[in-house]
C-alpha cells in the first residue's frame, strides 16, 4: 500500500526542493494509472504499460513546468487545472473506450519476484521479499534519491534553485532547466505510482481511482520535511494506515459503514501535518516564479 505513495513522494521531493509546488501529483497519478492500464490492455504487455505511464506523467510534468516556470503562472492554479483536466480526460477516454463501468476487465498483472532464500523466512519473508519489481524499485529509490539530492552537483543545484534562484543563476545554474527536470521527474514517478495502482495492484482501472492518494503523497513529502528518507517513512505510515483501514473494512464492514474506515488515512495525514509540521520546511523560493532580469 505504501509503494505508490513512496514513488510519488520521492519524485515530489525534487519538485518541491526546486521551488515548484506540485499539487498536480494527483492528476499525474491518475493519468499514469489510466495510461498504464490502457497500454497494458491493448498490447497485453505490462511493461509497455508502465513505460507509457511514465511518459504521460512526464508530459503532464512538462505542462506544469511550462505554465509555472516558463510563463511564470501560478503553481497552485496550474496544479488544479491539471488535476481537473486529468480527471476529465481519463474519465472520458475510459467511458468511450470501455463503456461506463466503474472497473474494467483485467490485464496480466506484474509478476511477483521472490528474493531467493529471504522469501522463505516465515511470516516476514513473503511480506517483504515476495513482491513485484516496483516495490523493490521504490525502496531502492529512497537512498538513491537522498544521494542525488545531497551528494551530487545536480542535487545541490536543485536545492540552490529552490532556496535562492537568483544566486543560483549567478553561479551559472540554469534555474529553468533545474525546475523543468525536477518537475518532469516528479511527473514520471507519479505516473509510475498510478500505474502501480492500476496494473500492479488491482489489474483494473476505475474512474478517479487514485481518490486523493496524490494529496496524501504530498502530505508525506511535507511530513518527511522534504527529505527522501523522511518522505519514505511518512509514506510507510500513511500506506500502513490505508492497509489497516482495508483490513478493518473486511473485519467490520458489515456492521460499520465503510466510509468511517476510508476516512482514516486522510485524518491521519491531516493530524500529522497539523501536529508535527511547523514553519520553515519549505524552500525560501517555493511557489514563486523566477524571472530572468
Is 37 a binding residue for other proteins by CB under 8 A? The answer is: no
Is 287 a binding residue for other proteins by CB under 8 A? The answer is: yes
| Closer CB to other proteins, 134 or 175, in the complex | 175
Judged by CB under 8 A, the number of residues near other proteins is: 58
Distance CA 255, CA 48 (A): 42
Is 293 a binding residue for other proteins by CB under 8 A? The answer is: no
List the interface residues with other proteins, window 56-115 (CB under 8 A): 63, 67, 71-78, 80-89, 91-93, 95-96, 100
* DSSP H/E element including 89: helix 75-98
| Closer CB to other proteins, 56 or 269, in the complex | 269
Output phi, psi for 132, to 5 deg. -80, 165
By the 10 Å C-beta count (0-12 exposed, 13-18 middle, 19+ buried), 196 is classed as buried
Residue 179 backbone zone (phi > 0: left; psi -120 to 50: alpha; other: beta): alpha
Output phi, psi for 117, to 5 deg. 65, -60
Distance CA 234, CA 247 (A): 20
The contact mask relative to other proteins for 213-232 (x = CB under 8 A, - = no) is --xx-xx--x----------
| Closer CB to other proteins, 207 or 227, in the complex | 207
Is 259 a binding residue for other proteins by CB under 8 A? The answer is: yes
**Of residues 123, 291, 292, 293, which one binds other proteins by CB under 8 A?**
291
Which residues lie closer than 8 Å to 265 by C-beta, 6 or more apart?
A: 216, 238, 241, 242, 245
Is 249 a binding residue for other proteins by CB under 8 A? The answer is: no
Q: Please report how close the Cβ of residue 264 comes to other proteins at its closest, in angstroms.
A: 9
**Span from 1-9, 49-57, 151-159, 280-288 in contact with other proteins (CB under 8 A):** 280-288
Distance CA 11, CA 183 (A): 8
Q: Which of 23, 28, 13 is nearest to 78 (CA)?
A: 23
Question: Which stretches of the chain bind other proteins, using CB under 8 A?
Answer: 21, 23, 63, 67, 71-78, 80-89, 91-93, 95-96, 100, 207, 211-212, 215-216, 218-219, 222, 256-257, 259-260, 262-263, 266-267, 269-270, 273-274, 277-280, 282, 286-289, 291
Amino acid at each position: 500500500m505504501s509503494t505508490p505513495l513512496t514513488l510519488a513522494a520521492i519524485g515530489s521531493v525534487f519538485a518541491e526542493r526546486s521551488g515548484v509546488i506540485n499539487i498536480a501529483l494527483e492528476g499525474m497519478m491518475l493519468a499514469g494509472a489510466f495510461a498504464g492500464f490502457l497500454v497494458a490492455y491493448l498490447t497485453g504487455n505490462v511493461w509497455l504499460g508502465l513505460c507509457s505511464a511514465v511518459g504521460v506523467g512526464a508530459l503532464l510534468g512538462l505542462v506544469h513546468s511550462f505554465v509555472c516556470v516558463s510563463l511564470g503562472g501560478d503553481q497552485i492554479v496550474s496544479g488544479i487545472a491539471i488535476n481537473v483536466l486529468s480527471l476529465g480526460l481519463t474519465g472520458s477516454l475510459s467511458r468511450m473506450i470501455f463503456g461506463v463501468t466503474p472497473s474494467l476487465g483485467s490485464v496480466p498483472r506484474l509478476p511477483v519476484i521472490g528474493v531467493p532464500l529471504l522469501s522463505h523466512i516465515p511470516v516476514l519473508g513473503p511480506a517483504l521479499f515476495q513482491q513485484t519489481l516496483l516495490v523493490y524499485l521504490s525502496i531502492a529509490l529512497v537512498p538513491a534519491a537522498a544521494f542525488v539530492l545531497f551528494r551530487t552537483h545536480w542535487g545541490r543545484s536543485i536545492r540552490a534553485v529552490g532556496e535562492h534562484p537568483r544566486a543560483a543563476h549567478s553561479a551559472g545554474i540554469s534555474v529553468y532547466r533545474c525546475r523543468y527536470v525536477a518537475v518532469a521527474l516528479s511527473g514520471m514517478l507519479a505516473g509510475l505510482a498510478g500505474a502501480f495502482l492500476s496494473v500492479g495492484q488491482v489489474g483494473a482501472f476505475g474512474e478517479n481511482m487514485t481518490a486523493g492518494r496524490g494529496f496524501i503523497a504530498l502530505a508525506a513529502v511535507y511530513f518527511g520535511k522534504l527529505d527522501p528518507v523522511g518522505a519514505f517513512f511518512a509514506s510507510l505510515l500513511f500506506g500502513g494506515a490505508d492497509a489497516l483501514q482495508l483490513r478493518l473494512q473486511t473485519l467490520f464492514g458489515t456492521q460499520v459503514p465503510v466510509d468511517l474506515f476510508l476516512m482514516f488515512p486522510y485524518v491521519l495525514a491531516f493530524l500529522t501535518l497539523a501536529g508535527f509540521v511547523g514553519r520553515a520546511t519549505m524552500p525560501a523560493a517555493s511557489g514563486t516564479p523566477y524571472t530572468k532580469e
